[in-house]
Structure 1
Amino acid sequence: MPKAVRVHDYGGPEVLRYEDIDVADPGFGEILLRHTAIGLNYADIHTRNGRYPLPHLPHVIGGEGCGVVEALGHGISNVEVGDRVAYSSGGHALPRGSYCEKRTMKADRLIKLPDNITDETAAAMITKGLTAQYLIHDSHPVTEKDVILVHSAAGGVGMIISQWAQTFGAHVIGVVSSEEKAAFAAKHGCHNVIISKSGDIAAQAKTLTGGEGVTAVFDAVGADTFEASLAALRPLGRLVAYGSSSGPVPPFDIFRLNEMGALSITAGAFYWHMRTADEIKARAAKLFEIVASGAVKIEINQKFTLSEASVAHRAMESRSTFGMTIMTP
């Protein structure tokens, strides 16, 4: 029987169970997928601990992966048996279930892979790359006039934002938690890097910009960095909040944005930028193009087997990972 990682109760990494599962034959609009690589995202931790509830328990977790189509249900016209495909469920608004060897799933959100993108690269970057794409093209369209601050710049989304924004001519300031991560971020698009433990993030950002502040902040950390992100902005600046790895931001008086320089905050939620198959394909095409050009490099720095999912989660929660992390079945 195929193996999978399921949760029967919400909790820490210890609730991840590596076990046999039944996989149904594909029905109308569905395919049977054999995974070749599985991406990991901090949203998986939110799923495991119950912040992003599952429709029922037990349930396979995970939101992104890559594999080969092994069987088709009725009504499928966008893929064929043998196609290499990737997919991203992102966050919690779409069906999860990628931590497995095989799964039956809807075919409408599948992305065919070009020959120049490997399975492991696709699994590593598909959610993170699609997220970065809409963040810098839609949530805050980055141009050569921008000076941006990128939290978690040594992480998967952060390293893609930093490299991609640099191709637009923007000046990129990264924020990381260690010297090792600072060196990594500097090699992946950041012109300057702030180590968060070294002092006031906003003050350092202001110093690096001649006292003006940055035009935009991309923040996936949430509670721990929210105030610093606002304080780092120049007047009319924008905070793009697209995650909350440190916890949710407390209630906030929106009138403070006026007092701080008519600032704006926008939420970069994955689902609302990926509502249709055509939108997904268009964004994925731009991602594949920039990666194939070499301007955005995808580095897989941690690899685990599916049976090591709990170890992978502990590594992510300890903040010891950088770049991309994947599992192989």
Structure 2
Amino acid sequence: MLMRAIRIHEYGGPEVLRRVEIDVPRPGPGEVLVRVVAAGINFMDVHTRQGKYRDSRTYPVRIPCTLGMEGAGEVVETGAGVSSCRAGDRVAWCIAWGAYADYAIVPAARLARIAEGIAYDVAAAAIFQGSTAHYLLDDVAKLEAGMTCLVHAASGGIGQLLVQLAKRRGVEVFATTSTPEKAAIARTRGADHVLLYENGGFADRVRDLTDGRGVDVVFDAVGKTTLRDSFRATRVRGLVVNYGSVTDPMRDLDPYELGEAGSLFLTRPRLADHLADAATVQRRANDVFAAIRQGALQVEINGRYTMDNVEAAHAALEERRQSGKAVMDIAA
């Protein structure tokens, strides 16, 4: 039996995306065949297409490949040794490529059962960014009530989730955006203080608003243009979490700078290292889905596409960078 898939055979722009028909794969040991209902469209998909993971050991995806590292659907068949799910189960996953297709092979350890009341499209839009926000807050920053944090790109997909989940924990949230329009989004998500970047001026404003102390934690997905000013916004012995590089990575950082900035801690984590086993995957998904069901977490879907216009989806994503989330309705 054949299925549709969006594949790349070379790295490049949206023009390298190809809709093809290939055989429906069969699951091997520890794998699950899922009928895909919806796929998230992420900047990691753009990075895959551009070749940024061609040498990655954490994300060993190589061409030719089917794009789509996040999706939701129904289990069709399980491979040998799989006991965690069965045919008919509603599941979601991330960090397993192949979701831009009618069917996907997913390692059973990457699958999370979708909570009752959560639609497939919401699950597909939430599982990657929600799991990312969850591990950044829970495992990396260990945020607790009474702490302070600064969230860059707070109007973006992960930024909005970080703001909402941090507020849910009783954290005072500072947020940065590039425009007043995006600042309004951050405010609606609950940020206590919303600042514009102002070529690094946000760091001075954070210091003013914290009586010179700085925040406990900075979540920086912007990279080159903000990272050094993030140091200035962080308290002595505080933590800077650089989890993305929208404006390119910083390649000239001397560890001496961290000492001069106040004996800071700097980390560059990746989600794959915080999805160590099936129990962790399910725990993160359960927390995210529970927050959605309780109305404490809003997942904005601001773009819907099909396999017929996936090239337009990638072009739009690159133009918007991190602002918002799109999904692909596979069955449409």
Shorter-chain TM-score bucket reads over 0.9
2:86 pairs with 74, 80, 84, which one? Answer: 80
Partner of 1:291: 292
The residue correspondences of 1:214-225 to structure 2 (distance < 5 A) are 214-225=215-226
> Is residue 2:65 matched to residue 1:64?
no
Partner of 1:20: 21
Partner of 2:57: none
> 1:125·1:156 contact (CA, 8 Å) conserved in 2?
no
SS in 2 for 1:278: helix
Please give the alpha-carbon distance, in whole angstroms, between the structure 1 residues aligned to 2:195 and 2:320: 16
Per-residue Cα deviation, 1:13-57 (whole angstroms, up to 9, x for no partner): 221122222222223332221111111222111111111126442
RMSD: 1.8
SS in 1 for 2:20: strand
1:66 is matched by which residue type in structure 2? A
Q: Aligned-pair distance for 1:86?
A: 0.3
SS in 2 for 1:300: coil
> 1:220·1:244 contact (CA, 8 Å) conserved in 2?
yes
Please give the alpha-carbon distance, in whole angstroms, between the structure 2 residues aligned to 1:140 and 1:36: 34
SS in 2 for 1:6: strand
2:73 is matched by which residue type in structure 1? G
Partner of 1:212: 213
Q: Aligned-pair distance for 1:166?
A: 0.6
Partner of 1:102: 103
Per-residue Cα deviation, 1:180-219 (whole angstroms, up to 9, x for no partner): 2211111112112122357622223223333332221101
Partner of 1:300: 301
Q: 1:78 to 1:199 in 2, by over 3 A?
A: closer
> Is residue 2:48 matched to residue 1:47?
yes
Moved more, 30-39 or 286-295: 286-295
Partner of 1:146: 147
Per-residue Cα deviation, 1:258-290 (whole angstroms, up to 9, x for no partner): 111111112221111111111211222222222
> 2:200·2:229 contact (CA, 8 Å) conserved in 1?
no
The residue correspondences of 1:124-139 to structure 2 (distance < 5 A) are 124-139=125-140
The residue correspondences of 1:254-273 to structure 2 (distance < 5 A) are 254-273=255-274
Q: 1:55 to 1:44 in 2, by over 3 A?
A: closer
SS in 1 for 2:109: coil
Q: Aligned-pair distance for 1:81?
A: 1.1
1:184 is matched by which residue type in structure 2? I
SS in 1 for 2:124: helix
Q: 1:193 to 1:66 in 2, by over 3 A?
A: same
Q: Aligned-pair distance for 1:107?
A: 2.1
SS in 2 for 1:296: coil
Moved more, 121-130 or 284-293: 284-293
> 1:42·1:245 contact (CA, 8 Å) conserved in 2?
no
Partner of 2:164: 163
SS in 1 for 2:151: strand
SS in 2 for 1:31: strand
SS in 2 for 1:240: strand
Please give the alpha-carbon distance, in whole angstroms, between the structure 1 residues aligned to 2:309 and 2:106: 24
Q: 1:56 to 1:170 in 2, by over 3 A?
A: closer
Q: Aligned-pair distance for 1:124?
A: 0.3
SS in 1 for 2:33: strand
1:275 is matched by which residue type in structure 2? A
Q: 1:210 to 1:314 in 2, by over 3 A?
A: farther
- Percent identity over the alignment is 39
Q: 1:55 to 1:158 in 2, by over 3 A?
A: closer
The residue correspondences of 1:216-235 to structure 2 (distance < 5 A) are 216-235=217-236
Moved more, 79-88 or 280-289: 280-289
> 1:315·1:321 contact (CA, 8 Å) conserved in 2?
no
Q: 1:57 to 1:168 in 2, by over 3 A?
A: closer
Q: Aligned-pair distance for 1:117?
A: 1.3
Per-residue Cα deviation, 1:200-251 (whole angstroms, up to 9, x for no partner): 2222322333333222110112222211211211222210111122222213
Please give the alpha-carbon distance, in whole angstroms, between the structure 1 residues aligned to 2:28 and 2:154: 42
SS in 1 for 2:110: coil
> 1:64·1:88 contact (CA, 8 Å) conserved in 2?
yes
Please give the alpha-carbon distance, in whole angstroms, between the structure 2 residues aligned to 1:295 and 1:135: 18
Q: 1:74 to 1:42 in 2, by over 3 A?
A: same
Q: Aligned-pair distance for 1:320?
A: 6.3
Moved more, 79-88 or 296-305: 296-305
Partner of 1:92: none
2:71 is matched by which residue type in structure 1? G
